[in-house]
């Protein structure tokens, strides 16, 4: 293969649904096989399911709304063969539109030719035609080559986040000594919980999680709304001498793992998180894996002590607005 990139636009076209799904699934899997988590593997399975259904004689109904997120993006062609992919994922959150660039994958034999750069720049130009300046991507902390590429295109780091996973819910045999007491959440806890949630999950990340703190708010009407929307939530609090130190919220999801949201007093972060996680592991029944997203490098030993595994650390990057 030559290292010179000629006529990038002539190689790029929009992803065609559904005929591109099978080759795109192959490209993504081949490029990210070593780092795919369970949700990533499930996404590839869904791509293949949709691709096979589209061409099967039975024509099994399959609509885009069933997919993990809307399938948009661009592919790179070499003699009509898809050799690279870029997914473009739109989010609408709090009346703002965000675009996440993801799955930038180039087959090994086609790397070092500028294909990843050309696809990313093409996607940026496409998004900006519609006047959007909320262009984001996430890159693994252990991938400095990709970090340098995105920085050279104008992306700037906004935060780093650890993703933790408890594979199987096995109760702790014994709890470590703690002078904290675990109780149910009280209505009077809400003011502190909201502040700590906003500190732990700032605006730079909530759009991607679709984290609406209002659904955590106590009260009859909010509880009724959650019931209607099938939002299943459980809250508990850690206290010392009746003083609130932190809260945890378990939320059921349709993904591989349910989610645990932590909101704690930063002055006693590790003590509070440890007590909340110990309670969860001993007294909260869950048969599904549990995932926690938390600011990078914070309370890591506490998560390890409670049998959570560090899945990855992601750098969240946003494209600088044009001058």
- Domains in the chain: boundaries: 8-132, 164-315
Confidence at 231, pLDDT banded by 50, 70, 90: confident
Positive/negative CA dihedral, 72, 75, 79, 83: negative
pLDDT at 44 over 50: yes
Confidence at 62, pLDDT banded by 50, 70, 90: very low
Q: How do residues 248-279 score in pLDDT, each as one tens digit?
A: 999 998 888 999 999 999 999 999 999 999 99
Share the mean pLDDT of the chain: 88
Confidence at 7, pLDDT banded by 50, 70, 90: low
100: nearest Cα among 155, 145, 61:
155
Q: Which class for 245: exposed (0-12), middle (13-18), buried (19 or more C-beta within 10 A)?
A: buried
Residue 139, phi then psi, degrees to nearest 5: -135, 140
pLDDT at 193 over 70: yes
pLDDT for the residue 178? 79
pLDDT for the residue 172? 64
pLDDT at 61 over 90: no
Q: How do residues 75-131 score in pLDDT, each as one tens digit?
A: 999 999 999 999 999 988 888 899 999 999 999 999 999 999 999 999 999 999 988
What's this model's pTM, rounded to 2 decimal places? 0.88
- Residues 245 and 271: beta-carbon distance below 8 Å: yes
* Three-state SS sequence of the chain: CCCCCCCHHHHEEECCCCCCHHHHHHHHHHHHCCCCCHHHHHHHHHHHHHHHHHHCCCCCCCCHHHCCCCCCEEEEEECCEEEEEEEEEEEEECCEEEEEEEEEEECHHHCCCCHHHHHHHHHHHHHHCCCCCCEEEEEECCCHHHHHHHHHCCEEEEEEEEEEEECCCCCCCCCCCCCCEEEECCHHHHHHHHHHHHHHCCHHHHHHHCCCHHHHCCCHHHHHHHHHCCCCEEEEEEEECCEEEEEEEEECCCCCCEEEEEEECHHHHHHHHHHHHHHHHHHCCCCCCEEEEEECCCCHHHHHHCCCEEEEEEEEEEECCCC
pLDDT for the residue 167? 82
Q: How do residues 144-186 score in pLDDT, each as one tens digit?
A: 999 999 999 999 999 999 999 998 666 665 667 778 999 999 9
* CATH 2.30.40.10 for domain 164-315: no
211: nearest Cα among 65, 316, 88, 93:
93
pLDDT for the residue 60? 46
Q: Which CATH class is domain 8-132?
A: alpha beta
Beta partners for 165? 291, 309
pLDDT for the residue 66? 43
pLDDT at 141 over 60: yes
Q: Average the pLDDT over 218-242 and give the result.
A: 86
pLDDT at 323 over 80: no
Q: State how far the Cα of 214 lies from the Cα of 210, in Å rounded to an integer.
A: 11
Ranked by mean pLDDT, the top range of 19-33, 45-59, 221-235 is 19-33
């Amino acid at each position: 293969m030559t290292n010179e990139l000629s006529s990038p636009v002539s190689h790029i076209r929009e992803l065609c649904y559904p005929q591109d799904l099978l080759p795109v699934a192959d490209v993504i899997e081949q490029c990210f096989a070593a780092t795919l988590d369970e949700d990533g593997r499930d996404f590839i399975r869904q791509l293949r399911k949709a691709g096979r259904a589209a061409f099967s004689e039975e024509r099994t109904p399959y609509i885009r709304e069933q997919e993990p997120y809307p399938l948009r993006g661009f592919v790179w062609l070499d003699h009509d063969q898809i050799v690279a992919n870029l997914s473009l994922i739109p989010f609408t959150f709090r009346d703002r539109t965000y675009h996440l660039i993801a799955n930038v994958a180039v087959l090994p034999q086609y790397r070092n030719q500028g294909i990843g750069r050309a696809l990313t720049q093409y996607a940026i130009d496409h998004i900006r035609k519609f006047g959007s300046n909320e262009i984001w991507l996430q890159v693994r902390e252990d991938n400095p080559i990709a970090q340098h590429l995105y920085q050279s295109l104008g992306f700037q780091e906004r935060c780093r986040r650890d993703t933790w996973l408890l594979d199987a819910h096995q109760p702790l045999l014994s709890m470590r000594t703690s002078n904290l007491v675990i109780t149910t959440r009280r209505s009077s806890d809400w003011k502190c919980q909201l502040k700590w949630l906003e500190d732990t999950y700032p605006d730079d990340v909530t759009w991607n999680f679709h984290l609406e703190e209002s659904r955590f708010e106590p009260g009859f009407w909010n509880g009724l709304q959650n019931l209607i929307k099938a939002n299943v939530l459980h809250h508990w609090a850690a206290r010392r001498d009746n003083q609130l130190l932190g809260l945890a919220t378990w939320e059921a999801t349709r993904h591989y793992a349910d989610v645990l949201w932590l909101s704690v007093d930063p002055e006693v972060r590790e003590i509070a998180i440890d007590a909340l996680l110990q309670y969860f592991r001993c007294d909260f029944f869950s048969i599904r894996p549990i995932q926690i997203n938390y600011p990078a490098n914070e309370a890591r030993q506490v998560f390890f002590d409670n049998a959570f595994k560090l899945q990855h650390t992601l750098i969240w990057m946003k494209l600088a607005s044009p001058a």
